[in-house]
Every structure is written in structure tokens, then in C-alpha cells.
Amino acid sequence: MNGTPSAAVNLALPRVIHVTVTDDTLSADLEDGRTISVPIMWYPRLVRGTPAERANFQISGAGYGIHWPDLDEDIGVEGLLLGKRSAEDPASFERWLRERGQKYRKLRPVSLSAPLRFVPSRHSPAQNVCTNRSSTVSSRSSSVPEVYSSRRSNR
């Protein structure tokens, strides 16, 4: 053989060892010491889930994924590392909401196509907001229903 020998690159993904879900963030601690944190706004089913439903998860796929049985949601390590948002079709999401018994009937649907835009506050990091065309989410907000209610209070 002449030239440069071929090298096979085998990238191994780290496994999830711990998961934390808050009202606004999904954080996954990985076996290599990294912690990946993403906004739950990227995953409409997590946003629509109750705190109890979000807390009921399983580390699945030998540690390469996270599964929420109550929300029928699965998120993989690879997607987290690549910064991938939910790619669920809006019709599928609406069907899922109906199957849940329209628990959140008064809430506006989450726009899956509108990109989020981070707007830093001039006053305090606690007042930073994330916006899209259909809603505004303030980091001061502590409850998911308030974020998506059709009538928000003026703060």
C-alpha cells in the first residue's frame, strides 16, 4: 500500500449518569464529567408536562438516552451534544395533546417552527427572556402554565 494508511475514527458517546429537570432547564451529567444543559423549551412535551411527570424519567438505552414514560418523550445523548431540538411534527404534537385529555386546554400551542431568540436584560441576568413569535418566556417565570397562558400577567 502506498500513501497514507486509512484510519477508522470511532467516536464513543459518553453515557448519562444523572438527570435534573427544572421548570426551564434539562441538565444531563455525563460519565466523562461534562454537564449538558438545554432549555426545556426545545422539547414541547417536557414543557407541557407537570413537574411530577418531568421528574419521572428513566436513563435508557444503556445510558445513551433519557425516557419520560408519562410524556412519551425520548431524548438521546447525541442530540443533546449536537444541540438538537425536538423535531416532532406539529400535527403529532397536537394529537398527543388531545390524547392526554386536553389537560392544558386553555394554553396556546407551542410553536415548533419559530426559532427562539435570547434577549439579555440590561438590568439583571434574572430578567433575561427567550422569545419566539408565539410566546415570551422570562427566566423569572417559575411555572410552565404561566409561561404559556393566553393571558399573561404584566410584571
Q: What is the pLDDT of residues 31-80, one digit of tens each?
A: 999 999 999 999 999 999 999 999 999 999 899 999 999 999 999 999 99
CATH code of the domain containing 20: 3.30.2020.40
89 φ/ψ sector (left φ>0, alpha ψ -120 to 50, else beta): beta
Q: What is the pTM of this model?
A: 0.60
Asked, for residue 8, whether it belongs to a domain, the answer is no
pLDDT of res. 31: 96
Burial degree of 111 (CB within 10 A; 0-12, 13-18, 19+):
middle
pLDDT of res. 148: 37
Give the number of domains in the chain: 1
Asked, for residue 5, whether it belongs to a domain, the answer is no
Place of cell 449518569: 17
With a cut of 80, say whether residue 111 has pLDDT above it. Answer: no
Asked, for residue 155, whether it belongs to a domain, the answer is no
pLDDT of res. 151: 39
